[in-house]
A and B are shown apart, each in its own frame.
Chain A
Amino acid sequence: MTATRMTLVAALNASLRTALADDPKTLVMGEDVGRLGGVFRVTDGLQKDFGEGRVIDTPLAESGIVGTAIGLALRGYRPVVEIQFDGFVFPAYDQIVTQLAKMHARSRGLVRLPVVVRIPYGGGIGAVEHHSESPEALFAHVAGLRVMSPSTPSDAYWMLQQAIRSDDPVIFFEPKRRYYDKGEVDTTQPAAPAHTARVVRPGADLTLAAYGPTVATCLQAAEVAAAEDGRALEVVDLRSISPIDFAAVEESVRRTGRLVVVHEAPVFFGAGAEIAAHVTERCFYRLEAPVLRVGGYHSPYPPSRLEDEYLPGLDRVLDAVERALAH
């Protein structure tokens, strides 16, 4: 057994380190990723160990970061770029949507762009504007991009490995609120493929589906529901947002008959809407209750003193669970 207990940040750091050591074509690039080691220290020590040629402090320009990463990928490199915060990916949105996502299809499969765009995302850290957003749906809506988000240190390590090895562009959303949560990471034992969902807590009464930062919230809700009401909630960690492992969600819902989807992103046009529609189409006669969604509101991410009201916390998840079980 070679598992080590580490934080999610340390797991990401270890994963980047492995990728840099394994493949000389792997590059890490972004603002402050070199000397500083990134504002969250995800790239801590990498420039010292792999040099300025492999771990590149870029000019302050997100469109430039992703655009040049595309060029490096065209030349055979595998760039892993860091966007400093969720709200600052938008200057790069053009490059991601019009170029990164489409080049493979447009070239009839001749051009592959193995670029990973790492984005620390989500709220709950008491930050100022643009530092707490969950824009995953804006990327999941774009064909050609894989979108994923780990919820544990082990998944952080392995899903990032898989993302870097993927020949498709990957938008890799890191739950920054969980950066310092610890968990076991076994770097010798590959985890399940990143596009598959995983039942992280089995239960027969209701399915809670989540990814990234809200998986822990759902596990907590399952804990409380079991202790206080004797309810057995199943928690499914989707892990991948595009594609979504619908088969796993369906399988769970066929057993429980109830589904609540939880994410920090606004529910309007969010991943929950997609899942609800799909499950309604495929499991209509197995459903005992409407699929419910818990998430952010149709309002800009609020000032931090209001974020507890905005975010889908334990109480709001339990409220939805109760409503679903009331049917």
Chain B
Amino acid sequence: MSDDGIRLLGPDGKRVAHPTYSGDADPGELRALYRDMALARRLDTEGVTLQRQGELALWPSLLGQEAAQVGSVRALREGDRVFPSYREHAVALARGVDPLALFRLFRGVDHGAWDPDAHDVHLYTLVIGSQTLHATGYAHGLTKDGSDAAVIAYFGDGATSQGDVAEAFNFAAVYDAPIVFFCQNNQFAISEPNERQTRVPLHQRAQGFGFPGVRVDGNDVLAVRAVTRAALEHVRSGAGPFLIEAYTYRMGAHTTSDDPTRYRDAAEVERWRAKDPLLRLDRLLRAEHAADDAFFAEVEAEGEALAARIREGVRGMPAPRAEELFDHVYAEENSLVERERAEFAAYQAAFEEV
């Protein structure tokens, strides 16, 4: 096993045998995985571009993490619940969340207000680590209800330093919550490398809490899918939580506000570029004659159509109305909010008169 973790598909596009996990997939499945990753990458490129053009406040790029996200989300069953952090665009897309909902958040039109029940994808969480506790509580609720659904919680390597994450691990372990903790170790928390967050490989953290953890090559979509499937089976069986450390790399900046040249060198980025998740599946598809040029052209065209839809959707996004400030602060009527709403309306009306 390489340091990159469990691997079924090497960077050269060649299959790697593993005693426990299998990368079996029919050609259709392989193509579907490729398509998911390619569309996510195209969406992501559009996010960066639109931010550069001033259309978005910010964009956190997922570049390089496509396999970690697609492999894991495609291991889920319908009804399993996803708790993302803020970079899981491939997960959201694969689950059917309207991509424009992601862009509304990063354009500053709303705070990312898609319906969590519609696709079993909870809202993005920007406060590092918080969602791991929500995911744990949700999973515990599933147990109490006798449901056979499971939960997957996404978070980063930096997040593992937060107290909330340790508390989530422990609660989940104590109550055998059906949850897969899915850590995308993309090597950085903004500028801080792994060495500033941990002394042990992150997957080993689980052991201290009494549940299993493994490292998987996060750029190998087949391995991620196989490992996540097995982990979900484990948690569903009532055996308690499971930690997956998907070993990957953040190829882009932390967000469009960040300048990674200040803290990492180009050679390291190039080393990881050679492990590109799409490239290796592309090689496999071609080597196994599972896809032809027409397929790749089709996916590319689909990506362009998605990008065009996003571009148009973002540019044409209606600005929120000022009165929305006072909407939904509480579920029930609240006299303070209503008074402020009325005062605000009167103030605005006074302006319109002059």
Q: A36, B340: Cβ atoms under 8 Å? A: no
CB contacts under 8 Å to B, within A51-74, are 57-61, 63-64
Chain B interface size range:
35 or more
CB contacts under 8 Å to B, within A269-327, are 297-300, 302-307, 309-310, 315-316, 319
Given A60-B189, A298-B337: A305 and B163 interface contact (C-beta under 8 Å): no
Of A88, A128, A130, A300, the contact of B58 (CB 8 Å cutoff): A128
A38's nearest neighbour on chain B, judged by CB, is: B191
Interface of A is mostly: loop
Chain B residues with CB below 8 A from A61, complex form: 161-163
Say yes or no: is B262 at the interface (Cβ < 8 Å to chain A).
Answer: yes
Of A36, A91, A302, A307, the contact of B262 (CB 8 Å cutoff): A36
Of B263, B319, B336, B350, the contact of A305 (CB 8 Å cutoff): B319
Given A32-B190, A91-B162: A305 and B108 interface contact (C-beta under 8 Å): yes
Q: B322, A91: Cβ atoms under 8 Å? A: no
B105's nearest neighbour on chain A, judged by CB, is: A128
Say yes or no: is B196 at the interface (Cβ < 8 Å to chain A).
Answer: yes
- Report the minimum CB–CB distance from A20 to chain B (whole Å): 20
Say yes or no: is B326 at the interface (Cβ < 8 Å to chain A).
Answer: yes
Of B110, B197, B337, the contact of A299 (CB 8 Å cutoff): B337
Q: A305, B109: Cβ atoms under 8 Å? A: yes
Assembly CA distance A300 to B328 (angstroms):
10
- Number of A residues near B (Cβ < 8 Å) is 39
- Report the minimum CB–CB distance from A98 to chain B (whole Å): 14
Assembly CA distance A304 to B128 (angstroms):
20
Assembly CA distance A31 to B262 (angstroms):
15
Chain B residues with CB below 8 A from A127, complex form: 57-58
Say yes or no: is B311 at the interface (Cβ < 8 Å to chain A).
Answer: no
CB contacts under 8 Å to B, within A27-63, are 31-32, 34-37, 39, 57-61, 63
Say yes or no: is B297 at the interface (Cβ < 8 Å to chain A).
Answer: no
Assembly CA distance A128 to B321 (angstroms):
18
Contact with B along A101-133 (1 / 0, CB 8 A): 000000000000000000000000011111000
Q: Spell out B's residues near A (CB within 8 Å).
A: 57-58, 105-112, 126-128, 158-159, 161-164, 189-192, 196-197, 257-258, 262-263, 319-320, 322, 324-326, 329, 336-337, 340, 344, 347, 350-351
A-B residue pairs, 9 tightest by C-beta: A304-B108, A36-B191, A59-B161, A60-B158, A309-B322, A60-B161, A61-B161, A305-B108, A32-B191
| A–B complex contacts, Cβ < 8 Å, 26 sampled | A31-B192, A35-B191, A36-B262, A39-B190, A39-B258, A59-B158, A59-B197, A60-B189, A91-B127, A127-B57, A127-B58, A128-B58, A128-B105, A128-B106, A128-B111, A129-B105, A130-B127, A268-B336, A297-B344, A298-B336, A303-B110, A303-B111, A303-B320, A305-B109, A306-B322, A315-B351
